Amino acid sequence: MSISGHTIITGGSSGIGYALAEKLVRRGGRVSLIARDPARLQRARDDLLALGAAQNTVLVVAADVMDPRRLDQAVTECEDVAGEAGALIASAGIVCPKFFHEQPVEDFDRQIRTNLLGVANSVRAVYTRMRLRGHGRIMIVSSGAAFVGIPGYAAYCASKAALRAFASSLRLEAKPAGIQVSICFPPDTDTPQLQAELPLRPEAARLFMGGSKPWPADKVAERILAGMEAGKDEVNFGLLLTVLARTSPALEPLLQSLHLWRTAKTKTTDTNLTDGSQ
C-alpha cells in the first residue's frame, strides 16, 4: 500500500531524512520536517518547494528529539496545519567515532540519548494519536552498525542495536492496534553527516569496515519507502548487511577474529619496517 497523506520526518533537514521527504513530495505527499536547526530546516523547505511542491504541503518545525515536551508540541503544530500524520519516519541521529577510552563521557552519552531515547521520544509523540485512530506507520532508521561491533563506534553500535530490540517489542504492542512498526539498517550513506564523520573515523574502523562505496541517499530512501509500502518489519541493504541481519550471532565472532588477526599482522609489519630502517 503506497504512502500518501501526511508524513512526519524527524531529522528531515538533511541526509536520509531529506531524501525521504524529497521522494514523498515528488509523489504529491505532505511532509513535516522536524529538526534542531531552523536555518537548515528553512533551506530544506525552500529546496522542496523548488521541486514544485505547494506551499501548504511542506511544513518545518524546529524541535530537539531530546525534548519530549517540545517534540509533542511540534507534532501538534504539524497536524494542525497538515492534518493527521499517517506515518512517522524517525531519522534523527548522530555519530561521534572515537575509541571508548578516549571519548569524553558527554559524547558517548549524547549518542545513546539521541539515537535511542530521541527515537523513543519521536515515536511517543505520535503513538497515542495513532492508537486512537486505529492506524499508522512508524519507520525507525537504525544502521548496519546494529549488527556488529565496530572499533571506535561503541556508543553508536550500542544505540543502533538497541533500536532493533525497541522496534521488535513495540511491534508486538502496536500491530493489534493497527500500527505498522518497521526498522531499517542503512549502510554508509553519502550524506553531510558521513562527510563530517569520515575524517574522525579511526583507522581500526576503516580496516574492519573495508572500503565499500557509500550508498546514494536517494537509493537508501527509495529502499526505505518500498519497505514501508510492502509492510516489511525490517529493511536491509545489500548482500552483506542482509546476511548479517540474519546470521550476525554466528558471523560476528568470525569477523572479530579476522579483524584481530589483521590488526596483529599490521602491527608486526609496522614493527619490522621500523626495525629495518634503523
Cite the active site residues. Answer: 142, 156, 160
229: helix, strand or coil: helix
Residue pair 121/68 in contact by the 8 Å Cβ criterion: yes
Neighbours of 70 (CB within 10 A): 17
Cα–Cα separations (whole angstroms), residue 221 to 20, 125, 128, 173, 265: 5, 23, 26, 26, 39
Cα–Cα separations (whole angstroms), residue 45 to 31, 84, 93, 150, 228: 10, 20, 20, 35, 24
The C-alpha atoms of residue 243 and residue 240 are separated, in whole angstroms, by 5
- Residue written as grid cell 533551506: 43
